[in-house]
With several copies, the nearest count.
Chain A
């Protein structure tokens, strides 16, 4: 069949990947973008509760970096940020879960308690962030310290935005992990903005990779919109950490193509920058790469696009009309014991 024949004529696939993996990566990229487009539609219909954060233009680095991990029950582990929806999907997060989170459904992983991608699955190996930037770095230091203490050949990966590298938590956590030689890979996302703040107002170095020098860990900077480059760099770092060589820093240069959140019209971003980076869209670039190298046929990708759309249609239909959590459920699970918080005296008195 055409796929294989063309593949035979094709140049070898880099980074030890095979054709199925290339297509799987494409699927995650498409899934991420299509899901976010669906969320945007739901947001406009005010079905999304609270804000909506897009990763447009950053799907490549998210998916590719996560794809470098060993996935499955009790394997590698990562902590995604608000713009790492793709990473979360790669680790086994489901569109249905994301849709439910954004709509605060009772069936959502956090039962309507937390927002968007702020949820995790210890077995599948991802941990939801809290809003306080930088805090996940110390926590992931502890996760990976545990891998080391237990002599498990597992690796942790944590993301940090260009802006969040200014937090004390980032510094303390990264230094702690570096001293303990934890099997931790840090993905520094240089996307040009922290809300409205540019890197020049955030730090006095040119690259996030420069910051790694202060922690005695190796660092590399890659084109964050080049899917295979990000995969390759992260894979190298992951393998190295798994071998017991400690923390590794990977900087991805990319660009935030939307505002900080949907409410933000990013008037402070230069049109020219947006246009220049639009030409660097990671999914378009990857798609062309697959086709021009003959690693995939137009039809293969079309099929995936359609699959993905169907999956997200089904997921949306499945949950859009689901109920919100019952009010009283708010009282459970603050502690293992007692199982529920006190219902206050003025409630359910017949006023």
Chain B
């Protein structure tokens, strides 16, 4: 059983679904001949042909809109945004057309929009974004955000099989940094809408997703040595949120730290805080606290990016404070 990277897990999932179901096709900028800016679809055009791996013009709105049209007719398009930052050019198409299609007109729109997101890579303000908050506010859309190799594979497969539009966010910092063994033959289908306990603990819960799952795990190691037992919940699906899993860990540890890479104001931590507050107010032994990026566009210089984004030390500091509350 070979070790594969996060990126390879995603690639395997895509390939398996394309082999399984001929309705699945890929469209995006440079996904064909070049195999995608990060090589996620390398070799796909050779294997599946030009009509199933389509190099498009630089037209994010058209890519998403065309995917929607195909999906209405029963196809299963997977649209790549070269960097997820450019999804902002398809914001109208995704939120107004795609997400509402089933509700307003009973139109099935099974499609996936995926792309590399996230910082810690010196990408500057337009190659590092985390767009989840902008789409989290969109009934009709689902959002998944894998943190592990297994979920990278399992969630792309489930997203493609889902009957509704799914935004699949892949953190480029994880692409080649995270490796794991995944069984060859196994059909991995991570259920959409269910979180995962990334680490068991009893004193304090960290609710997080994406790259900060790994930073939280590092922090937990440090805190363990200090005798603090931290539980880590990896949300995996952001929309719909797994309220049950969130409330379960809250009721277990009674203290919650929400960690995300996205900026604080308007980030997902707000909604999660509100839900815990509404449904488990009596269970809280301390305020629900947030460790997030600072409220600025993400700068490019390493010193600045490192300051703006949440780091392992920040999680350690915040957890210590909350534990002592």
A residues with CB within 8 A of B: 49-50, 104-106, 109-115, 118-120, 122, 127-128, 130-135, 137-146, 149, 163-164, 166-169, 172-173, 175-176, 179-180, 194-197, 201-203, 268, 324-331, 333-338, 341-347, 349, 351
B residues with CB within 8 A of A: 25, 29-30, 33-34, 37, 51-52, 54-73, 75, 77, 82-83, 85-86, 88-89, 92-93, 96-97, 100, 102-108, 122-127, 139-140, 142, 163-164, 240, 264, 278, 289, 291-292, 294-297, 299-304, 306-308, 313-314, 316-318, 320-321
Contact (Cβ within 8 A) B97 A139 = yes
Known: A49-B301, A131-B83, A351-B316. 5 other contacts (CB 8 A): A113-B125, A135-B93, A201-B57, A333-B102, A334-B103
Smallest CB-CB A-B distances: 9 pairs: A142-B69, A138-B65, A112-B301, A351-B317, A142-B66, A166-B57, A327-B307, A131-B126, A196-B34
Most buried by A among B164, B294, B313: B294
A-B contact pairs, 21 of them (CB 8 A): A104-B302, A110-B106, A122-B72, A132-B97, A133-B58, A141-B65, A142-B69, A142-B77, A143-B73, A175-B59, A179-B57, A195-B82, A197-B29, A197-B34, A324-B304, A330-B307, A335-B142, A341-B295, A345-B318, A346-B314, A349-B317
Chain B residues near A197 (CB, 8 Å)? 29-30, 33-34, 55, 57-58
Contact (Cβ within 8 A) A110 B73 = no
The residue of chain A having its C-beta at the shortest distance from the C-beta of B51 within the complex is A149
Q: A120-B107, A172-B59, A333-B102 are in contact. Are A49 and B37 (CB under 8 A)?
A: no
Most buried by A among B57, B100, B103, B320: B57
Which residue of the partner chain, among A114, A164, A167, A173, contacts B124 with CB atoms under 8 Å? Answer: A114
Chain B residues near A326 (CB, 8 Å)? 303
A245 CA to B99 CA in the complex, in Å? 33
A106 CA to B301 CA in the complex, in Å? 9
Contact (Cβ within 8 A) A112 B139 = no
Chain A residues near B55 (CB, 8 Å)? 196-197, 201
Q: A167-B58, A325-B303, A344-B292 are in contact. Are A141 and B69 (CB under 8 A)?
A: yes
Q: A175-B59, A331-B294, A346-B318 are in contact. Are A114 and B125 (CB under 8 A)?
A: yes
Q: A115-B300, A333-B106, A351-B313 are in contact. Are A138 and B125 (CB under 8 A)?
A: no
Q: A208 to chain B: closest CB distance in Å?
A: 13
The residue of chain A having its C-beta at the shortest distance from the C-beta of B83 within the complex is A131
Contact (Cβ within 8 A) A342 B317 = no
A112 CA to B300 CA in the complex, in Å? 6
Q: A139-B65, A195-B29 are in contact. Are A131 and B303 (CB under 8 A)?
A: no
Contact (Cβ within 8 A) A114 B139 = no
Which residue of the partner chain, among A110, A118, A179, A344, contacts B264 with CB atoms under 8 Å? Answer: A344
The residue of chain A having its C-beta at the shortest distance from the C-beta of B278 within the complex is A345
